[in-house]
């Protein structure tokens, strides 16, 4: 008996608006407890929600990039339940008339392209945060009313890799659309996973469980793998899977029950009488669609097609929006896409991967990176010295010209100095010189390297080579 997992997702993503979805409080992350609150988002009696146009625009953009149909008529509902992070005791959400219906996203997983269908995307408000203390829990409502979209997929996923590939793709697309910052460490995106197992080829699905609130790629992968393992064990031991909501414990790597189906909530959804339904015109939707920025795939095509960058480098660049933006802006400032791409993918990405820099918070602007590339391309500094200067730029934020000046990295083309250096190197290495002259020209590289090193980048390789050849052949 081969058990086959079927998985569906609900992904919550916070929208990058200035103000909250139903009031004018700042939608920024963090802040002193309850300092980004007002009578509306704190649920004071008598207050009313007023919908933010930008949040609606953003969910429409999200819908378009995921190939959804946008409803011409949409409305909001109340989802009623009591919880201390929900001051009104209802969450404003959407039930029968979400903004986006249908849709799909293609992903690469397990060596193939898979089309994952989207059921719906709706707009709702986030809840507050609880901090648990010894005796009591404390409620901070700063996050109450941050706009959220909930992306509900069809059960088209069959492995942890399917899930993580999709989540990463969605995250990237939302970032490119300018709709969500995708900062998982700040809880900007969270994923609920519904998993059931059944025999392959069977028409009936098994009992499903739902793992709630996964907020990192690693947690998603581990939770899915653990839940597949746990359910497999149960079924193979002849036990039943119980329909329940689970919590994934990062420390133990296991899931535990939050509530079973028996105490499933009756949310009593009904249309929120405080928020009028909205009707969109075709022109409004067209305008929003036209405002969608370039998506990762389009950038990839441009990098490979227009710039002739290798597919590998192009993938590395587009897979991080901040890096891709840096690249585009650098190329705008100094038009040398290929060296810029290879310098970014090799040198800058190494520093980032080593944890020496953060792609989202680089201490220099794109035009400074462009200047660095330009200095090397125009022979003002050696190509090797680019990485020296980059490290200094990363640690001090200084401009490339200043670093080159301070560290004396300019190529001087001082022929007397070159000649003197070459003479010294040749004198210090009689054996390789002998070998070269007897026809073993391979050692030229070694001698070249020695000269280069001694000159510390102050001469161009061409000038050194010319001098070295002259001396060796004389």
Partner 1 sequence: MELINASLKTLRTMLDNKEISARELAKEYYDRIKKYDPELESYITVTDEQALSDADEAQKRIDEKNAAPLTGIPLAIKDNICTDGIRTTCASRMLENFVPPYNATVIEKLKGQNYVLLGKTSMDEFAMGGSTQTAAFSKTKNPYDITRVPGGSSGGSACAVGAKLAPAALGSDTGGSIRQPASFCGVTGLKPTYGRVSRYGLIAFASSLDQIGPIANSAEDCGILLNAIAGADAHDATSSPAPVEDYTALIGQDIKGLKIALPAEFYSDSTDDEVKSTVLSAAKEYERLGAELVQCNMSSLKYAVAAYYLISGAEAASNLSRFDGIKYGLRGEGKSFDEMIRDSRSKGFGAEVKRRILLGNYALSSGYYDAYYRKALALKQLIIKEYNDIFDKADVILTPTAPTAAYKIGEQESDPVKMYLADICTVTVNIASLPAISLPCGYNADGMPIGMSLVGKRFGEAVLIQTADAYQRGFKYEPNKYTGA
Partner 2 sequence: MDIKTIDHLCELSKLNYSDEEKQQVMREMGAIIELMDTVKQIDLTYDDTKDFNSIAFSQLRRDEAAPSFSPEKLLSNTDPEDGCYVVPKMVE
The reply on whether position 139 binds partner 1 by CB under 8 A is yes
Q: Is 364 helix (H, G, I), strand (E, B) or coil?
A: coil
Handedness of CA 45, 47, 48, 53 (dihedral sign): negative
Rounded to whole angstroms, how far apart are CA atoms 325 and 10? 29
Residue 428's binding partner, choosing from partner 2, partner 1, none, with beta-carbon cut-off 5 to 8 A by kind? none
Write down the least CB distance from residue 100 to partner 1, Å. 22
Which of 1, 53, 82, 134 lies at the binding interface for partner 1 (CB under 8 A)? 82
The reply on whether position 73 binds partner 1 by CB under 8 A is no
Instruction: Decide whether 46 or 201 has the Cβ nearer to partner 1.
Output: 46
Binding track over 255-294 against partner 1, x by CB under 8 A: -----------x-xxx--xxxx------------------
The reply on whether position 128 binds partner 1 by CB under 8 A is no
Contact by Cβ (8 Å): 13, 149: yes
Contact by Cβ (8 Å): 336, 330: no
Write down the least CB distance from residue 69 to partner 2, Å. 16
The separation between CA 104 and the C-alpha centre of its own chain, rounded to angstroms, equals 20
Which residues of this chain interact with partner 2, rule CB under 8 A?
17-19, 24-27, 32-39, 42, 44, 50-56, 73, 75, 82, 84, 96-97, 130-141, 247, 266, 268, 271, 276-281, 284
Rounded to whole angstroms, how far apart are CA atoms 128 and 62? 24
The separation between CA 180 and the C-alpha centre of its own chain, rounded to angstroms, equals 10
Instruction: Decide whether 256 or 408 has the Cβ nearer to partner 2.
Output: 256
Rounded to whole angstroms, how far apart are CA atoms 357 and 352? 5
Which of 30, 32, 45, 237 lies at the binding interface for partner 1 (CB under 8 A)? 45
Residue 270's binding partner, choosing from partner 2, partner 1, none, with beta-carbon cut-off 5 to 8 A by kind? partner 1
By CB under 8 A, which span of 83-91, 143-151, 160-168, 320-328 interacts with partner 1? Answer: 83-91
Which of 58, 64, 90, 167 lies at the binding interface for partner 1 (CB under 8 A)? 90
The reply on whether position 167 binds partner 1 by CB under 8 A is no
Angle formed at CA 214 by CA 136 and CA 298, multiple of 5 degrees = 140
Write down the least CB distance from residue 155 to partner 1, Å. 23
Residue 38's closest CA among 27, 30, 54, 29?
Answer: 27
Rounded to whole angstroms, how far apart are CA atoms 84 and 350? 45
Rounded to whole angstroms, how far apart are CA atoms 326 and 369? 8
The reply on whether position 49 binds partner 1 by CB under 8 A is yes
By CB under 8 A, which span of 7-15, 87-95, 155-163, 437-445 interacts with partner 1? Answer: 87-95
By CB under 8 A, which span of 8-16, 44-52, 56-64, 330-338 interacts with partner 1? Answer: 44-52
Residue 240's binding partner, choosing from partner 2, partner 1, none, with beta-carbon cut-off 5 to 8 A by kind? none
Q: Is 216 helix (H, G, I), strand (E, B) or coil?
A: coil
The reply on whether position 428 binds partner 1 by CB under 8 A is no
Residue 34's binding partner, choosing from partner 1, partner 2, none, with beta-carbon cut-off 5 to 8 A by kind? partner 2
Rounded to whole angstroms, how far apart are CA atoms 421 and 292? 58
Rounded to whole angstroms, how far apart are CA atoms 147 and 61? 14
In eight-state DSSP terms, residue 184 is: G
Q: Which two tokens stand for residue 364?
A: 């220099």
What values do phi and psi take at 175, rounded to 5?
-65, -45
Rounded to whole angstroms, how far apart are CA atoms 105 and 102? 11
Residue 46's binding partner, choosing from partner 1, partner 2, none, with beta-carbon cut-off 5 to 8 A by kind? partner 1
Residues lying near partner 1 in the complex (CB under 8 A) are found at 39-40, 42-51, 78, 80, 82-84, 87-90, 139, 266, 268-270, 273-276
């Amino acid at each position: 008996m081969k058990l086959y997992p079927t998985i569906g997702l609900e992904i919550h993503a916070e929208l990058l608006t200035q103000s909250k979805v139903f009031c004018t409080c700042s939608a920024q992350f963090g802040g002193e407890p309850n300092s980004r609150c007002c009578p509306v988002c704190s649920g004071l009696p008598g207050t009313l929600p007023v919908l933010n146009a930008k949040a609606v625009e953003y969910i429409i953009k999200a819908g378009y990039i995921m190939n959804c149909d946008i409803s011409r008529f949409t409305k909001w509902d109340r989802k009623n339940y009591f919880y201390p992070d929900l001051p009104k005791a209802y969450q404003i959400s959407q039930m029968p008339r979400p903004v986006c219906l249908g849709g799909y996203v293609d992903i690469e997983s397990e060596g193939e392209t898979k089309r994952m269908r989207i059921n719906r995307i709706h707009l709702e408000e986030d809840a507050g945060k609880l901090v648990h203390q010894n005796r009591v829990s404390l409620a901070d409502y700063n996050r109450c009313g941050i706009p959220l979209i909930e992306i509900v997929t069809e059960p088209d996923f069959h492995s942890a890799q399917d899930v993580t590939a999709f989540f990463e793709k969605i995250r990237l697309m939302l970032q490119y659309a300018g709709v969500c910052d995708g900062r998982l460490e700040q809880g900007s995106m969270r994923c609920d996973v519904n998993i059931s197992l059944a025999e392959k080829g069977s028409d009936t699905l098994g009992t499903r469980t739902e793992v709630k609130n996964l907020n990192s790629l690693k947690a998603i992968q581990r939770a899915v793998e653990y839940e597949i393992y746990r359910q497999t064990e149960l079924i193979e031991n002849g036990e039943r899977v119980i329909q329940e909501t689970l919590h994934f414990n990062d420390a133990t790597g296991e899931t535990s029950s939050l509530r079973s189906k028996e105490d499933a909530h009756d949310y009593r959804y009904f249309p929120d009488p405080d928020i009028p339904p909205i009707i969109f015109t075709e022109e409004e939707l067209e305008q929003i669609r036209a405002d969608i920025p370039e998506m990762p795939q389009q950038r990839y095509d441009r990098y490979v097609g227009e710039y002739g960058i290798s597919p590998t480098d192009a993938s590395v660049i587009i897979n991080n929006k901040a890096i891709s933006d840096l690249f585009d802006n650098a190329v705008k400032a100094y038009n040398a896409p290929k060296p810029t791409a290879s310098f970014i993918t090799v040198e800058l990405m190494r520093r980032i991967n080593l944890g020496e820099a953060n792609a989202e918070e680089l201490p220099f602007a794109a035009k400074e990176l462009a200047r660095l590339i330009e200095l090397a391309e125009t022979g003002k500094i050696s190509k090797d010295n680019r990485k020296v200067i980059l490290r200094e730029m990363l640690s001090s934020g200084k401009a490339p010209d200043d670093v080159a000046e301070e560290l004396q990295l300019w190529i001087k083309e001082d022929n007397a100095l070159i000649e003197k250096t070459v003479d010294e190197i040749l004198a210090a290495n009689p054996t390789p010189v002998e070998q070269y002259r007897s026809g073993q020209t391979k050692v030229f590289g070694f001698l070249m390297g020695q000269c280069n090193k001694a000159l510390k980048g102050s001469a161009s390789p061409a000038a050194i080579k010319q001098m070295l050849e002259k001396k060796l052949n004389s």
